[in-house]
Amino acid sequence: MSSHTFSALDNHLWRLTYRWAVRTHPNKPKTWVINRHFGKFRPARQDHWTFGDRHSGRYLQKFSWTKIVRHQLVPGRASPDDPSLADYWSRRRRRQHLPLGFADLRLLQAQHGRCPRCRGLLLHAEHDPQSPHDWRQWLTATRKAIQRQAVTAETEPGTPGDAVALQLLHAHCARRQHAARNGSALPPAREPSRLA
Protein backbone atom coordinates (compact mmCIF):
# COMPACT_ATOMS: atom_id res chain seq x y z
CA MET A 1 0.00 0.00 0.00
CA SER A 2 1.21 3.49 -0.84
CA SER A 3 0.72 4.83 2.71
CA HIS A 4 3.05 2.14 4.16
CA THR A 5 5.60 2.79 1.42
CA PHE A 6 5.46 6.54 2.02
CA SER A 7 5.93 6.01 5.78
CA ALA A 8 8.92 3.76 5.17
CA LEU A 9 10.47 6.35 2.85
CA ASP A 10 9.87 9.11 5.40
CA ASN A 11 11.53 7.03 8.14
CA HIS A 12 14.54 6.35 5.92
CA LEU A 13 14.83 10.03 4.97
CA TRP A 14 14.51 11.07 8.63
CA ARG A 15 17.38 8.74 9.57
CA LEU A 16 19.55 10.22 6.81
CA THR A 17 18.82 13.87 7.73
CA TYR A 18 19.23 13.22 11.47
CA ARG A 19 22.56 11.49 10.91
CA TRP A 20 23.70 14.38 8.69
CA ALA A 21 22.65 16.98 11.29
CA VAL A 22 24.49 15.18 14.13
CA ARG A 23 27.65 14.77 12.01
CA THR A 24 27.56 18.43 10.92
CA HIS A 25 27.60 19.65 14.56
CA PRO A 26 29.81 17.12 16.40
CA ASN A 27 30.42 19.37 19.42
CA LYS A 28 26.79 20.23 20.08
CA PRO A 29 24.31 18.23 22.17
CA LYS A 30 21.57 16.32 20.36
CA THR A 31 18.82 18.54 21.78
CA TRP A 32 20.52 21.58 20.21
CA VAL A 33 20.80 19.78 16.86
CA ILE A 34 17.12 18.78 16.99
CA ASN A 35 15.99 22.31 17.89
CA ARG A 36 18.06 23.78 15.07
CA HIS A 37 17.17 21.43 12.20
CA PHE A 38 13.81 19.89 13.10
CA GLY A 39 10.52 21.49 14.00
CA LYS A 40 6.92 22.21 13.05
CA PHE A 41 7.73 24.04 9.82
CA ARG A 42 4.38 23.39 8.13
CA PRO A 43 1.62 24.99 10.24
CA ALA A 44 -1.13 22.83 8.71
CA ARG A 45 0.60 19.70 10.03
CA GLN A 46 1.19 18.80 13.69
CA ASP A 47 4.54 17.24 12.80
CA HIS A 48 7.43 18.45 14.98
CA TRP A 49 9.98 16.26 13.17
CA THR A 50 10.04 18.11 9.85
CA PHE A 51 13.56 18.82 8.61
CA GLY A 52 14.06 22.46 7.62
CA ASP A 53 15.82 25.79 8.00
CA ARG A 54 14.41 28.23 10.56
CA HIS A 55 15.96 31.32 8.91
CA SER A 56 14.53 30.84 5.42
CA GLY A 57 11.46 28.82 6.45
CA ARG A 58 12.20 26.15 3.86
CA TYR A 59 11.57 22.56 4.78
CA LEU A 60 11.71 19.08 3.32
CA GLN A 61 8.35 17.74 2.13
CA LYS A 62 7.34 14.35 3.45
CA PHE A 63 6.09 11.55 1.24
CA SER A 64 3.19 10.85 3.60
CA TRP A 65 1.77 14.32 2.87
CA THR A 66 0.98 13.22 -0.68
CA LYS A 67 -2.75 12.95 -1.23
CA ILE A 68 -3.63 9.38 -2.14
CA VAL A 69 -6.17 9.05 -4.94
CA ARG A 70 -7.88 5.69 -5.19
CA HIS A 71 -8.75 4.48 -8.67
CA GLN A 72 -11.54 2.02 -9.27
CA LEU A 73 -10.29 -0.94 -11.26
CA VAL A 74 -12.11 -2.04 -14.37
CA PRO A 75 -13.59 -5.48 -13.67
CA GLY A 76 -12.28 -8.44 -15.65
CA ARG A 77 -12.12 -7.88 -19.38
CA ALA A 78 -14.67 -5.06 -19.52
CA SER A 79 -14.19 -3.07 -22.70
CA PRO A 80 -15.72 0.27 -23.73
CA ASP A 81 -16.46 -1.36 -27.11
CA ASP A 82 -18.75 -4.02 -25.59
CA PRO A 83 -22.38 -2.87 -26.24
CA SER A 84 -23.69 -4.88 -23.28
CA LEU A 85 -21.55 -2.77 -20.90
CA ALA A 86 -22.64 0.64 -22.23
CA ASP A 87 -24.53 1.42 -18.98
CA TYR A 88 -21.51 0.50 -16.85
CA TRP A 89 -19.19 2.79 -18.82
CA SER A 90 -21.66 5.70 -18.83
CA ARG A 91 -22.06 5.41 -15.02
CA ARG A 92 -18.28 5.25 -14.60
CA ARG A 93 -17.75 8.35 -16.76
CA ARG A 94 -20.43 10.29 -14.85
CA ARG A 95 -18.47 9.78 -11.62
CA GLN A 96 -15.45 11.56 -13.08
CA HIS A 97 -15.04 15.21 -12.14
CA LEU A 98 -14.83 17.80 -14.87
CA PRO A 99 -11.22 18.96 -15.33
CA LEU A 100 -11.99 22.51 -14.19
CA GLY A 101 -11.08 24.35 -11.03
CA PHE A 102 -13.49 24.57 -8.08
CA ALA A 103 -14.33 28.24 -8.78
CA ASP A 104 -15.03 27.55 -12.47
CA LEU A 105 -17.24 24.59 -11.58
CA ARG A 106 -19.27 26.77 -9.20
CA LEU A 107 -19.69 29.41 -11.91
CA LEU A 108 -20.63 26.74 -14.44
CA GLN A 109 -23.34 25.40 -12.13
CA ALA A 110 -24.63 28.91 -11.32
CA GLN A 111 -24.92 29.67 -15.05
CA HIS A 112 -26.57 26.28 -15.72
CA GLY A 113 -23.72 25.48 -18.13
CA ARG A 114 -24.62 28.31 -20.53
CA CYS A 115 -22.80 31.37 -21.85
CA PRO A 116 -24.66 34.51 -20.66
CA ARG A 117 -24.03 36.30 -23.97
CA CYS A 118 -25.09 33.76 -26.62
CA ARG A 119 -26.97 31.32 -24.30
CA GLY A 120 -25.04 28.42 -25.88
CA LEU A 121 -23.60 25.53 -23.87
CA LEU A 122 -20.14 26.24 -22.49
CA LEU A 123 -19.11 22.58 -22.30
CA HIS A 124 -20.66 20.51 -25.00
CA ALA A 125 -19.41 17.28 -26.48
CA GLU A 126 -21.25 14.50 -28.24
CA HIS A 127 -19.44 11.89 -26.11
CA ASP A 128 -16.83 11.82 -23.39
CA PRO A 129 -13.19 11.61 -24.49
CA GLN A 130 -12.11 7.98 -24.73
CA SER A 131 -8.31 8.08 -24.74
CA PRO A 132 -5.62 10.17 -23.00
CA HIS A 133 -4.98 11.92 -26.33
CA ASP A 134 -8.70 12.82 -26.61
CA TRP A 135 -8.68 14.13 -23.02
CA ARG A 136 -5.62 16.27 -23.76
CA GLN A 137 -7.29 17.73 -26.85
CA TRP A 138 -10.55 18.31 -24.97
CA LEU A 139 -8.77 20.10 -22.10
CA THR A 140 -6.79 22.33 -24.48
CA ALA A 141 -9.91 23.25 -26.45
CA THR A 142 -11.91 23.90 -23.26
CA ARG A 143 -9.26 26.19 -21.77
CA LYS A 144 -8.99 28.16 -25.02
CA ALA A 145 -12.75 28.34 -25.61
CA ILE A 146 -13.87 29.50 -22.13
CA GLN A 147 -12.84 32.70 -20.39
CA ARG A 148 -13.64 34.05 -16.95
CA GLN A 149 -14.75 37.67 -16.94
CA ALA A 150 -15.65 40.17 -14.23
CA VAL A 151 -19.07 41.78 -14.51
CA THR A 152 -18.84 45.43 -13.54
CA ALA A 153 -21.55 47.82 -12.44
CA GLU A 154 -21.51 51.41 -13.63
CA THR A 155 -22.10 53.92 -10.84
CA GLU A 156 -22.30 56.99 -13.11
CA PRO A 157 -22.35 57.12 -16.90
CA GLY A 158 -18.85 56.47 -18.17
CA THR A 159 -17.44 55.54 -14.74
CA PRO A 160 -16.84 51.84 -14.18
CA GLY A 161 -17.63 50.57 -10.70
CA ASP A 162 -16.20 47.73 -8.72
CA ALA A 163 -16.26 44.20 -10.05
CA VAL A 164 -19.39 42.65 -8.59
CA ALA A 165 -19.34 39.13 -10.01
CA LEU A 166 -17.53 36.70 -12.25
CA GLN A 167 -18.98 34.86 -15.20
CA LEU A 168 -17.80 32.31 -17.74
CA LEU A 169 -18.08 33.22 -21.43
CA HIS A 170 -17.11 31.64 -24.71
CA ALA A 171 -13.79 33.14 -25.79
CA HIS A 172 -15.33 34.37 -29.06
CA CYS A 173 -18.25 35.98 -27.14
CA ALA A 174 -15.75 37.76 -24.87
CA ARG A 175 -13.85 39.06 -27.91
CA ARG A 176 -17.08 40.34 -29.49
CA GLN A 177 -18.09 42.03 -26.23
CA HIS A 178 -14.67 43.66 -25.89
CA ALA A 179 -14.77 44.85 -29.52
CA ALA A 180 -18.28 46.28 -29.01
CA ARG A 181 -17.15 48.23 -25.92
CA ASN A 182 -14.15 49.68 -27.76
CA GLY A 183 -16.22 50.56 -30.82
CA SER A 184 -13.99 48.59 -33.20
CA ALA A 185 -15.29 46.37 -35.96
CA LEU A 186 -16.89 43.22 -34.63
CA PRO A 187 -15.40 39.93 -35.72
CA PRO A 188 -17.90 37.80 -37.61
CA ALA A 189 -20.11 35.63 -35.45
CA ARG A 190 -19.20 31.99 -35.59
CA GLU A 191 -20.81 28.81 -34.48
CA PRO A 192 -19.37 27.37 -31.24
CA SER A 193 -17.31 24.24 -31.72
CA ARG A 194 -18.66 20.90 -30.57
CA LEU A 195 -16.15 20.81 -27.70
CA ALA A 196 -16.94 24.12 -26.03
Q: Is residue 81 part of a domain?
A: no
Q: To the nearest whole percent, how much of the chain has pLDDT over 70?
A: 68
109 and 58 within one domain:
no
As a whole number, mean pLDDT of residues 14-21 equals 94
Work out the angle between the directed axes of helices 132-145 and 171-182 (0-180°, nearest 10): 20
Q: Is residue 7 part of a domain?
A: yes
pLDDT of residue 173: 84
User: Number of folded domains in the chain?
Assistant: 2
C-alpha distance from residue 172 to each of 31, 49, 65, 177, 190 (Å): 63, 52, 41, 9, 8
Q: How far apart are CA 80 and CA 32, in angstroms?
A: 61
Longest dimension (CA), the chain: 77
| Predicted TM-score (pTM) of this structure | 0.41
pLDDT of residue 105: 73
Mean model confidence pLDDT for the chain? 76
Q: Rounded to a whole number, what is the distance in angstroms from the first to the last CA of the chain?
A: 39
